Structure 1
Amino acid sequence: MLCLLLDIRKDYKMNEYKKEGIIRLWMAEGLLQSGKRGKRIEDVGNEYFQDLISRSLFQPLSKDKPTILMHDLSHDLAIFVSGEFSCRLDDGDKAKFSGKTRHVSYSKMKDLESFEGLPLAKSLSTFIQSGSLDGTFSISMPQLERLLSIGGCLRALCLSNLDIIILPDSIGNLKHLRYFDLSWNDNIKEIPNTLCRLYNMQTLRLSKCGQLTRLPKDMGNLVNLRHLEIEDVPLEKMPPMMRNMKDLQTLCQFVLCKRRGSSIKELGGLPYLSGELEIRKLENVEVVEDVLEANLKDKRYLNKLVYLWSSDDAANESTRHGEVLDALQPHTNVKELRIEGYGGETFSNWVGHRSYTNMVTVRLSNCHHCCLLPPFGQLPSLQILKIYNCRGVERIGAEFYGDGSSNTKPFRSLKFLKFEDMPAWQEWSIPEGREDGGCFPSLKHLRIIKCPKLSGSSLPDYLPSIEQVEVEDCPEFLLCNFPSNLKALAINSYEDVMKFPSLQISGRYENVMKFPETLLPTTLTSLYIENLENLQVLNGEGFEHLTSLEELMIEDCEELQCFPGEMLPKSLTTLCLYELNKLEDLGKGLQHLTSLKELRISYCKNLRCLSGTGLPASLTSLCIAYLPSLEDIGDDFLRHLISLEKLEIKKCNNLQYNAVEENGKGVLEQLISLKKLVLSNCEKLRSLLEGQLPTSLTSLEIHVFPRLRDLNRMGFQHLCSLEELTIFNCENLECLPDQGLPSTVYIDGRRLLERNGQRLA
């Protein structure tokens, strides 16, 4: 088992998908023994994995994320224990094959060019990639045929992402092959039918083969196949006799074609299907009874189901669509459901039925003929609900919440609710007796997009857990009252903008000249004001009480001329000003923002002066960019920034600054915490490059200084912390400093490897 950890590099992080791949490799090598009756061999593999974690060979990174790390010491132990039985081809050493070699791993395609000794490995069992390939490679047909010719004992073979176009028929000679990975070969169009001779095959990975349109016709012969991965494969139909693969668990998609639409009943012979199943082209179902034979109602291991109709002419098939959806009723264990293109006028009774206690996510899209939504409020565990492009829905009322027979609140677990592209939707009402907001006690995020007729006057006023509301392209939407606990609200395409607390206020509206006119919720933490072309004044009094506001961004407001810096809340940590073309100065008052960490000012073409704009000592990041009119940044602008770690000054062609103070000490030298300095397209700031730089500097970038000839005056010998120097498009730079250059130097994108003789020309 340790030998097969060669698929993992040092400090390699594994998510759930990679973990499953390792377990399937163990399974292919016969390392997993069936446990108790009824326990899947994959479950045994998971137990082994947990055992390795308990012995610290694997380490979980955190309790919240299912990510596992293999420590480099454990990796080295695996290499040591494997001895002559394993061979790694990614070390740059010549491959050492012998009769004892069982396991080979590679990560660079050049390693496959020196396989002279590979025939010595007569009992080669595993040929896999180590982690993921370093780049894009291809394997030639002679190399591939040579590999297959000596792999008679192979149990696991990985040829992923090798730009394979044709798979030789000789693949059918690998009688012992149990694990075959051909994924990410985007140019392969056909799998030879000889592959169907591999009766021991357990795992076949074909995902991301973007031109593969059909599977071999005799796939049904692979009676031991357990995992068929065909994610993002544009299949046109399924091969016959799929029901013969009775142990099949992974089948990402099942496609029905016109002449064999009733092949859906093949699913009835696959009782152990698990994970996700997407059934496509359901309009091709010929006999509804065949859908019942698929027996989805008894497939208890499936947790995600996707039902897709792709026919545009669903109006004449409404009754058939309804009957098919009735027959597609899944097991109550399902956690995620997606229905797309359904043409029935009503949804089946099972959709939204309270018996689906595990349902967490539901998505409906392109269900054009349905007028009423299912009673999703009855689903006790539903957390995410997305409804797209249901053109027939005009009103959402009591039917959406359930029949009221349950004592629990509707949508009691719902956290995310989205409606998009609902052109006929006009009214959203709350059932009688539920105006207290009890319908959505857990809702945190509400999005309403492209609903042009929707009026918001009847929306619930009380949403006790709401944090974010986003409204876009809903011109009739008006929200006169907002929840007091709201933290973020994004608004686009509305007329009465001042009535909204907002994370993002966006749109070109003639009537918005002053913002805000009413008080915003004190819980607001982020505020974006964007693309309000007639906004002239920011009401400072409207900002003062936002004691929780941390982030403020104002972008593309053409008429804004003044900035109330002195009235911004002291809680502000990030301030970004973009494309404010009439803004000429920032005024005074920014120095009182004692929590401010980041300040960015860009693309304000008329901003001429920053004099008098004192900045707080708390600032750690400052970016001044694309300010063509800026000439002066004032004596106090940089002087007191003792916490500043990153300074960027870009494309301020008219900006001048005296690099040396009266006391003879350079301005930059006083920035005692500065770690990164970027100067770009600011020819008149050459004097900054002649002063002393702070010793704390770790990264220096100099871009587009055509008159700069040398850097010898910068005192590099004092920059003991400097790690990286980047110089770009300084065409007249002739020499680098004689002393103090860091170990990493990039000039015009190329790394300088030798510095003997500093002349560049």
Structure 2
Amino acid sequence: MLFLENVLQAPLQLRQLLISHCLKFQGFPKSIGQLNHLKKIVITEGYSVRSLPDEFCLLQSLEQLVLFECKLLSSLPSNFGDLSNLRHLNLSCCEELRRLPDTFKNLKLLEHLDLANCHKLTFKSEDLNFLENITKLDYLNLSFIRQLQELPRHVTNQASLRELYFDYTSLRDLPDSIGQLSRITKMRIVCVQLSSLPTSLGDLSSLTKLEIAYSPKLKSLPKSIRQLNNLQELSITNIPISELDFGTASLSNLKKISLEGTVVCKLSFSEACYPHLESLHVSYNRHLEEIEALSRTLKSIYLGNCEMLKNIPSFAGFTSLRNFCLTDCCGIEKIEGLENCTILSELSVETCWELPGIKSLEHLQNLKRLALKANKRSVIERCIQTIQKWPNERIIIWAQAVPDAASLVHSFLSQKLMIVDSSSNQGTNSSQKLVLKGIPDGDAIMFCCVINCVSSQMTLEIVLDGRILFFKKVGKGRWALVGVLSQRNSDGELRIQTLFGEGEVEKGLVVRGEEQTTREALRSLLPLFSL
């Protein structure tokens, strides 16, 4: 504290003060009030900060104040409202903060207020009366304030509000007055006790992003949602709705839809209803049996963990599709029209046991990533035989849990590099290894992340200039260069010269999934090893 006292006596022209991860920092000295030009103060993870001196509120030029994770801060100075120029205030994760001072209402220029994770705030409706005097609020986050049971009119009267979040509060319903938020663009609704949504939700004419999640009592959505003509992103997660039908001329500007954990049986995303739809994510909809229509404007489609899904539309005319993932949809028996997706760059077909094959793969010569995890071996073989005919193409193939998948591709390494996770020993903790040799000169080396590896000791060897670079898996989709193999002993065991000490493997060169590293880059690492 003495050191900080001396520092604050000198730079009277200081404009910004940033304090991060200073675990022993307990607070500001009284001299902080002398920094009349200070406009920004940021404290992150100030675990020892318990209070602010009254002199702190003399900072008349202060515009931005962040007190993030000051977990012992239990109160603010009673004259906190003297910070009359404050525009941005972040008090998130101040877990001991119990109340806001009465002078809070004097912060009339406040535009951004984040109170998320202030668990002990005694927030009743009247405690938000200070908002009556604040008319320029643009952002309000009240998430994880457990005692917030209703959304008062002072919130819904905020005409300038553009973002509103109240995740995991005790709200049981939303007031009809929420429709008065005519400028709001982003809203997230995550309320366990919420059983219905007001019809006035459809009056939010400026709304571009709507997230509704983890509200198990919510059985349906209001039909008025179809009036949200400017909505571009809609996300529904773990809501037990059984129907999703907004009419034939609704939500025409939607670009992204995410549906997870619903109980719908049938879905339709026709181009007539969704003429601008670009991204569709449908997962863990256990009762979904059919998708009747898909918009040909789609660029990315993810269908996962829908065990009852049997039919998906043909991809005829899907000339914009770049990414298609079909995973754990065991009932799918056919995929038609893929030959039309000529710019498709990523294709993932995983754990689809009823699928006999992927037709027309020869037309997908822009493919850069093909995932075939846990499919029939015959499907893998036919795909690789097709890809083998492509001239001068480089592609990653993932084929987890397929017996002898590594040997299946080794014969093709002279033409293109494919790194395959061949972890066929499911349920064991044995160390597994895939050795890739015969890499052609000048070819790019591509690393793929390993999905759902059982063994945490997965290793990877790459032969380069007669030496073997030794990589170790250090996390999901993360590999670290830990050494170079100089020789093998008579028993064929590896002798590795490690670059980093035990326990420091993550300080090595970490290669993340789908990142490309050229031969030249790897070769430049070799001088680091004194072989």
Confirm or deny a common fold (TM above 0.5): yes
**Change over 3 Å in CA distance of 1:538–1:259 after alignment to 2:** closer
Distance in 2 between the 1:605 and 1:340 partners? 40
Q: CA deviation at 1:213?
A: 4.7
Q: CA-to-partner distance for each residue in 1:355-395, whole Å, 9 max, x for gaps? A: x443211111123333321333322221111112223x222
**Of 2, 9, 17, which aligns to 1:158?**
17
The counterpart of 1:377, out of the listed 207, 222, 226, is 226
Within the alignment, does 1:543 sit opposite 2:364 as a pair? no
Residues 553 and 577 of structure 1 are in contact (CA less than 8 Å); yes or no, is this contact kept in structure 2? yes
**What is residue 82 of structure 1 aligned with on the other side?**
none
Cα contact 2:406–2:422 (8 A) shared by 1: no
Does residue 679 (structure 1) correspond to residue 468 (structure 2)? The answer is: yes
* Contact 1:706–1:729, Cα closer than 8 Å, also in 2: no
**Between Structure 1 and Structure 2, whose CA radius of gyration is higher?**
1
Shift in Å at residue 542 of structure 1? Answer: 4.6
Report the alpha carbon displacement of residue 272 of structure 1 after superposing the two structures with TM: 1.6
Following TM superposition, by how much is the alpha carbon of 1:746 offset from its aligned partner in structure 2, in angstroms? 2.7
Q: What do the CA deviations read for 1:604-633 (whole angstroms, capped 9, x no partner)?
A: 789xxxxxxxxxxxxxxxxxx9336x8xx6
Equivalent residues, number: 464
Q: 1:367 aligns with which of 195, 208, 215?
A: 215
Given candidates 136, 160, 165, the residue that maps to 1:272 is 136
Listed one character per residue, the Cα deviations across residues 233-270 of structure 1 (whole Å, up to 9, x for unaligned) are: 54644412211111222222376844644211211111
Partner in structure 2 of residue 387 of structure 1: 236
Larger relative CO (CA 8 A, sep 6+): 1 or 2?
2
Instruction: Please give the residue correspondences for 1:260-409 in structure 2 after superposition, counting only pairs within 5 Å.
Output: 260-274=124-138, 276-280=139-143, 284=147, 291-292=152-153, 294=154, 296-300=156-160, 302-311=161-170, 318=172, 321-322=173-174, 325-341=175-191, 343-353=193-203, 356-374=204-222, 375-391=224-240, 393-397=241-245, 400-401=246-247, 409=249
Looking at structure 2, the residues matched to 493 and 387 of structure 1 have their Cα atoms a distance apart, in angstroms, of: 20
Change (3 A) 1:445 1:257: same
Q: Is the 8 A contact 2:327 2:350 kept in 1?
A: no
Q: CA RMSD in A?
A: 4.3
Q: In structure 1, what is the equivalent of residue 404 of structure 2? A: 582
TM-score w.r.t. the length of structure 2 is: 0.72
Which residue in 1 is equivalent to 2:114? 252
Q: Which amino acid aligns with 1:680?
A: L
SS of residue matched to 1:483? coil
1:644 counterpart = 2:478: no
Structure 1 residue 487: deviation in Å? 4.1
The alpha-carbon deviation at position 477 of structure 1 amounts to: 2.0
Q: Secondary structure at the match of 2:132?
A: helix
Give the superposition deviation at 1:466: 1.6
What corresponds to 2:381 in structure 1?
Answer: 563
Letter in 2 for 1:473: N
Structure with the higher fraction of residues in strand conformation: 2
CA contact (8 A) 1:169 1:194 kept: no
Q: Kindly provide the amino acid, as one letter, of the partner of residue 526 in structure 1.
A: E
Change (3 A) 1:341 1:394: same
Kept in 2: contact 1:558–1:581 (CA 8 A)? no
Q: CA deviation at 1:336?
A: 0.9
Instruction: Pick the aligned partner of 1:419 from 242, 251, 259.
Output: 259
> Which digits, 9 at most, give the CA deviation of each residue in 1:530-565, with x for residues without a partner?
456x79x98586533445434323345585697344
> Secondary structure of 1:679's match?
strand
How far off its partner does 1:216 sit? 0.8
For residues 205 and 500 of structure 2, the distance between their equivalents in structure 1, rounded to whole angstroms, comes to 65
Whether 1:704 and 2:485 are equivalent positions in the alignment is yes
Contact 1:525/1:550, CA 8 A, preserved across alignment: yes
Residue identity in the other structure for 1:239: L
- Say yes or no: does 1:147 pair with 2:147: no
Q: CA, structure 1 residues 382+183, in 2 after alignment: closer, same or farther (shift >3 Å)?
A: same
Q: State the alpha-carbon separation in 2 of the partners of residues 461 and 287 from structure 1.
A: 40
Distance 1:297 1:382, change over 3 A: same
How far the C-alpha of 1:743 sits from its partner, in A, is 11
Secondary structure of the 1:305 match is: strand
1: distance between equivalents of 2:524 and 2:278?
49
Identity of counterpart residues, as a percentage? 14
TM-score by length of 1: 0.52
- Whole-Å separation in 1 of the counterparts to 2:239 and 2:500: 57
Please give the secondary structure, in 2, of the residue aligned with 1:544. Answer: helix
CA gap of 1:212–1:482, structure 2 versus 1, over 3 A, is farther
Q: Which amino acid aligns with 2:114?
A: C
